[in-house]
Amino acid sequence: MRGRKRGNIVVLTGAGISKESGLDTFRDADGLWSRVNLEDVATPEGFARNPKMVHDFYNHRRRELQSDNVRANAAHVALGRLEAEWPDNVLVVTQNIDALHEEGGSKNLIHMHGEMLKARCDLCGAVHDWTGDMDIGTVCPACDAAGGMRPHVVWFGEMPFEMERISRALAQCSLFVSIGTSGNVYPAAGFVQEAIFSARAHTVELNMEPSEGATMFAETVYGPATEVVPAWVERVLEEGF
Ligand code: BJW
């Protein structure tokens, strides 16, 4: 026995969990920010300056996400299993805009930085499922106006989604696990402290390498997500945490 076999779990994931599914991270040497300037493509100001460039960036990533070889990997599937088999609440809060947690079986899931397969109209606020390309002339299916459509994602300077629900879950969790995130971007990077101070939660980091906030975690395991996440889930289900 390792210990606790009950208690709510909050799992935070980042781009590293989808790396072995074929999607790029942001800040690794071969990551997206080594090829494009984040101020140009991931800020409202960049979108206002050059909407075509931003639409092209997301159109490319939306097509890539829907290609046959981008599939949920063993880490996504293990988190789906954890939610199905753990006796208490498991909430996955992902910073990722892909749909691989859904494919891996997670149901209690928050996309705090939005979803690639959704689009939003800035003119009427409607959110639509979206699988095709978008451009500045795209018409909103709800209000029929052109010029307001944008990817349903959270750029720098914008408020992430469902922050109140996330804070409530952090305040009520016994275990907080961070997977595949570099800990560079707030408010997600502050969740480990929130879980410690508001809930005295046990904290675990599973990542390829120590993140910015690695010293705050009680337990750390380093290696590829497809190896360390299934092994960790198996251990928690068997022995508790
Ligand atoms: C593997 C692996 C494998 C590799 N297996 N692991 C000064 C101080 C503090 C904060 C601020 C500040 N100035 C501005 C801010 C706020 C700002 C911020 O944090 N800036 C920092 C850069 C300083 N944040 C915001 O603006 C946010 N909004 C906000 O704060 O609103 C106000 C607010 C106030 C109070 C409460 C709440 C809110 C919005 C942030 C939006 C981020 N948007 C993006 C783009 C989303 C759409 C898209 O995908 O295009 O989100 S940026 C990008 O970074 C994306 C990611 O979700 C996010 C995090 O990246 P992630 O997932 O950590 O990826 P990487 O690449 O950084 O790391 C990957 C990790 O995986 C690495 O560690 C690898 O080692 C590892 N790895 N292969 C396991 N196989």
Residues 6+ apart with CB under 8 A from 18: 73, 76, 96, 98, 100, 180
Strands 114-121 and 127-129: antiparallel
The radius of gyration computed from the CA coordinates of the chain, to the nearest angstrom, equals 18
Contact 150, 47 (CB under 8 A): yes
Claim: this prediction has a pTM higher than 0.85:
yes
Cβ-in-10-Å burial (0-12, 13-18, 19+) of 157 comes to: exposed
Q: Which atom of ligand 1 is nearest to the CA of 27?
A: 66
For residue 189, the ligand 1 atom closest to its alpha carbon is 19
pLDDT digit string, tens, across residues 214-233 = 999 999 999 999 999 999 99
Q: Could you report the per-residue pLDDT of 90-120, keeping only the tens digit for each?
A: 999 999 999 999 999 999 999 999 999 999 9
Whether omega for the bond prior to residue 187 falls within 30 degrees of 0, making it cis, is yes
Looking at the CA of residue 224, tell me the nearest atom of ligand 1. 5
Q: Calculate how far, in angstroms, residue 141's C-alpha sits from the geometric centre of ligand 1.
A: 31
Beta-carbon contacts of residue 213 (< 8 Å; ≥ 6 apart): 183, 189, 192, 193
The answer, yes or no, to whether residue 1 has pLDDT greater than 70, is no
Q: With a cut of 80, say whether residue 199 has pLDDT above it.
A: yes
Task: Tell me, using a 6 A CB cutoff, whether residue 208 lines ligand 1.
Answer: yes
Half-sphere exposure in the Cβ direction for 153 (13 Å, CA): 25
d(CA 92, CA 90): 7
Nearest CA to ligand 1 atom 47: 153
Q: Is 232 in the pocket of ligand 1 (CB under 6 A)?
A: no
Q: Is the CB of 211 under 6 A from ligand 1?
A: yes
Amino acid identity for residue 198 in this structure: S
Task: Return the amino acid letter for 59.
Answer: N
Is-catalytic flag, 113? yes
Question: What residue's CA is closest to ligand 1, atom 1?
Answer: 16
